[in-house]
Amino acid sequence: MNILVINCGSSSLKFQLIDSESEKLIAKGLCERIAIEGSRLVYTPAGGEKQITEAPMRDHKEAVSLVLKALTDEKTGVVKSLDEIGAVGHRLVHGGEHFSKATLITEEVKKAIQDCCELAPLHNPANLIGIEACEALMPGTPMVGVFDTAFHQTMPEEAYMYAIPYRYYQDYKIRRYGFHGTSHAYVSKRAAAVLGQPVESLKTIVCHLGNGASVSAVKYGKCIDTSMGLTPLEGLVMGTRSGDIDPAIIEFIAHKEGKSIDEIMNILNKESGVYGLSNGFSSDFRDLEDAYLEGNEDAARALKAFSQRVIKYIGAYVAEMDGADAICFTAGLGENSPIIRDMVCASLSYLGITLDEEANHKRGEEIIISRPGSGTKVLVIPTNEELAIARETAEIVKS
Ligand code: ADP
């Protein structure tokens, strides 16, 4: 069955068409600058040339319409008609406590996603718009929602509760949810496959290190803790997000600089992380690594603090799980940066880890990068959230 995977942001829409049986990518692309001057569709059929179409897209419905037109185009399309698309899998950011797994989208489910808008004001409204645009243009095609938060719903209460008055949980559901769940689930399963062991027998730490970054502790296939919280701001140092800070800093800056809460939240989300630590040098890890290798102190400060937090979380999760069989690196930085993996693993000799330098410099494959005989194995597993969404969607539609 062909599954259209949609990842809808406020002004962008990424898509992939995947054959769920062969798990092959059929086409992929993205609509940029939806409802903004200069909108365009980038479309690439598998094995074909990338095509860029500049076209006005006043809203997400027009964007989806252009995507469907491209997929069914006589010359460059990949399917004859929309009937060849069996289902749509939507990447959804926040499912609150409603969803611990992927689900068929119904009116009731949409209402629950709407209820979670308060928890993810930048993402959930855009996700809902994407669902409604697809529903309007593909009536009768099943839609499935796959939530970033779902995999983390197995966290025990002691891991997900904040130590603030309990009524805030009761009244507003303020708790830790975690994100990147589809990636953490996919990578922990793939790691088990690479190690040739059932996921139910392994204690795995997944380091999803991209612009947004999070770590999770996956014990016997279930997430028991993760570094992001109520929002994706908690946890590791990220590209521009601060990660964990003393909450009193907010009050301190507010008083010092007469800033509002909104202004400070903007600073913590957009001007902090390695960008802030490097004194505004860059939020891109490639730039930072190049500068670090040339002796730039701002870049060194940022990368060292970034790695220190990863090391700290790994230590915490080893303790929480009473050991770890595997540590996995994934996402843009985790998959592509031997430097960061080196910096992190240099502090993990207590787990019996030594890196195989040659393996650590390979790219684009699932690979064990620790030396044979290492106590805890270290792996690089390229994440594939779209494939994971296609798999879950196909499973729901078939059942
Ligand atoms: P997100 O999906 O959160 O935007 P990604 O998983 O795409 O993030 O990761 C993006 C980050 O990965 C960028 O900061 C980028 O610099 C980093 N990255 C990508 N390739 C490399 C590389 N070869 N070396 C170091 N960092 C890289």
Q: pTM of the predicted model, to two decimals?
A: 0.94
Distance CA 87, CA 395 (A): 11
- Residue closest to 310 by CA, chosen among 215, 382, 233: 215
Annotated domain spans of the chain? 2-147, 196-385
**pLDDT score for 121:** 84
Q: Judge whether 384 is annotated as a binding position.
A: no
Supply 4's token pair.
Answer: 């259209």
- Ligand 1 pocket test, pick from 206, 207, 333 with the greatest ligand atom count within 8 Å of Cβ, gives 333
Q: Give distance in angstroms: CA of 333 to centre of ligand 1.
A: 4
**pLDDT score for 119:** 86
Looking at residue 62, its amino acid is E
CB 174 within 8 A of CB 202: no
Identify any residues that bridge with 13 across adjacent strands, giving them in sequence order.
8, 31
Distance CA 369, CA 175 (A): 35
* Residue 284, ligand 1, Cβ within 6 A: yes
Q: Give distance in angstroms: CA of 337 to centre of ligand 1.
A: 9
- Ligand 1 pocket test, pick from 336, 360, 363, 384 with the greatest ligand atom count within 8 Å of Cβ, gives 336
* Residue 286, ligand 1, Cβ within 6 A: yes
**Distances, alpha carbon 113 to alpha carbons 42, 80, 120, 127, in Å:** 28, 33, 10, 9
- Ligand 1 pocket test, pick from 179, 186, 211, 330 with the greatest ligand atom count within 8 Å of Cβ, gives 211
**pLDDT score for 11:** 87
Q: Judge whether 335 is annotated as a binding position.
A: yes
* Residue 333, ligand 1, Cβ within 6 A: yes
**pLDDT score for 118:** 86
**2-147 and 196-385 in the same fold:** yes
* Residue 285, ligand 1, Cβ within 6 A: yes
Written as tens digits, the pLDDT of the chain (399 aa) is 999 999 998 889 999 999 999 999 999 999 999 999 999 999 999 999 999 999 999 999 999 999 999 999 999 999 999 999 999 999 999 999 999 999 999 999 999 999 999 888 888 999 999 999 999 999 999 999 999 999 999 999 999 999 999 999 999 999 999 999 999 999 999 999 999 999 999 999 999 999 999 999 999 999 999 999 999 999 999 999 999 999 999 999 999 999 999 999 999 999 999 999 999 999 999 999 999 999 999 999 999 999 999 999 999 999 999 999 999 999 999 999 999 999 999 999 999 999 999 999 999 999 999 999 999 999 999 999 999 999 999 999 998
Q: SS3 letters for the chain? A: CEEEEEEECCCCEEEEEEECCCCEEEEEEEEECCCCCCCEEEEEECCCCCEEEECCCCCHHHHHHHHHHHHHCCCCCCCCCHHHEEEEEEEECCCCCCCCCCEECCHHHHHHHHHHHHCCCCCHHHHHHHHHHHHHHCCCCCEEEEECCHHHHHCCHHHHCCCCCCHHHHHHCCCCCCCCHHHHHHHHHHHHHHHCCCHHHCEEEEEEECCCEEEEEEECCEEEEECCCCCCCCCCCCCCCCCCCCCHHHHHHHHHHCCCHHHHHHHHHHCCHHHHHCCCCCCCHHHHHHHHHCCCHHHHHHHHHHHHHHHHHHHHHHHHHCCCCEEEEEHHHHHHCHHHHHHHHCCCHHHCCCECHHHHCCCCCCEECECCCCCCEEEECCCCHHHHHHHHHHHHHHC
What is the distance between the terminal CA atoms of the chain, rounded to a whole angstrom? 13
* Residue 332, ligand 1, Cβ within 6 A: yes
Q: Judge whether 15 is annotated as a binding position.
A: no
Q: Which residues are catalytic?
A: 148
Q: Domain 2-147 carries which CATH code?
A: 3.30.420.40
**pLDDT score for 399:** 85
Q: Judge whether 385 is annotated as a binding position.
A: yes
**pLDDT score for 339:** 97
Topology of the domain covering 196-385: Nucleotidyltransferase; domain 5 (3.30.420)
* Residue 282, ligand 1, Cβ within 6 A: no
